[in-house]
Amino acid sequence: MSETRGRLGRHDLAEAARAAFGARELVSAERLRGGSKKGVYRLTLDDRTTGVAYVWNADEDYWPDAASPDHSDPFGHSTGIGLFEAAHAALSGAGVRVPRIFLLDRSKTLLAGDVAVVEDVRGGTLETLGDRPRVLARLGDTVRSLHRTRRAHYGRPGADKPGLPVQDVVLRRALDHLAQAAARVREIAAVEHRLASVLRERHAAVEPRAEYGLIHGELGPDHALVDEHDQPVLIDIEGAMFFDVEWEHVFLELRFGENYRYFHAASLDDRRMRFYRLAMYLSLVAGPLRLLDGDFPHWEAMLDIVDQNVVRTLGQLG
């Protein structure tokens, strides 16, 4: 597994830093851990000012055979400066705190790839800070504000191409993930037909819907930074889309555990929640296994996600 593929240094990022911050000298560029689709680098200038550079190019994307982003597919490979810019505008418009943008550059003259330079929020993530009731309460308010932003069709911000009913999109994707998981996980293979039947039964119970909320798409405690005023700041936003808010809530309850109480909404559709739980768990088995077909370096964390979600998937048959 490669630890250095795509790693840029101070000289590689100097032009981007100059374009974002002016004549100050870039003294260091530290690649931050995490991120499988883009490179994330902390830039430190000679006056101790810092920023964060997002770099999108083939070397920074660890997903095997990753396709170009398709704005018409809500579950398409969610990466790229275009998705970032559209998501940033949509979330900001919904009153959600996201890092301020200092530079967006598609010219590929500053470095090999597209680059954004944004505010460096240094308070840490909720994952590293632990139980912070004040911040969690504010994050709950942020999520509710996000989900109240609605439109009549699902999909990426700025994309207007309605397709299959949203629950049909989820079913098709979940059955594909089930087949991928069954091909690689013995415990899933043993109950593949039962799981397919449960997916279809839960899908059939979902009634059509004509309005969709704006969701982050992957909002866990690792994607919520905390600023100096204890305000949550959302990052890794390229997966934002208009969708059934229940999809987000399934991920929130999975990632926040007991702290999900800060996010729960009485208006959620229980039938959608049951269907989306199983679909989500299958995606968190198949997705990390696919990532590990490449040379993503943090394979232990991915295998842990797989193991946890195999258990969750099998638990849906109980």
Tell me, what's the pLDDT at 272? Answer: 98
- Phi, psi for residue 55 in degrees, rounded to 5: -125, 125
In this prediction, residues 110-133 reach a mean pLDDT of 94
In this prediction, residues 110-135 reach a mean pLDDT of 94
**Domains of the chain, earliest start first:** 10-119 (3.30.200.20), 126-315 (3.90.1200.10)
Contacts of 187 (CB under 8 A, 6+ apart): 310, 314
In this prediction, residues 75-95 reach a mean pLDDT of 91
In this prediction, residues 229-241 reach a mean pLDDT of 96
Query: pLDDT by residue (tens digit) across 136-186?
Result: 999 999 999 999 999 999 999 987 666 789 999 999 999 999 999 999 999
User: What's the pTM value of the predicted model, to 2 decimals?
Assistant: 0.93
Q: Which of 19-40 are b and which e, b meaning 16 or more Cβ less than 10 Å from the residue's Cβ? A: bbbeeeebeebebeeebbbbbb
In this prediction, residues 259-284 reach a mean pLDDT of 97
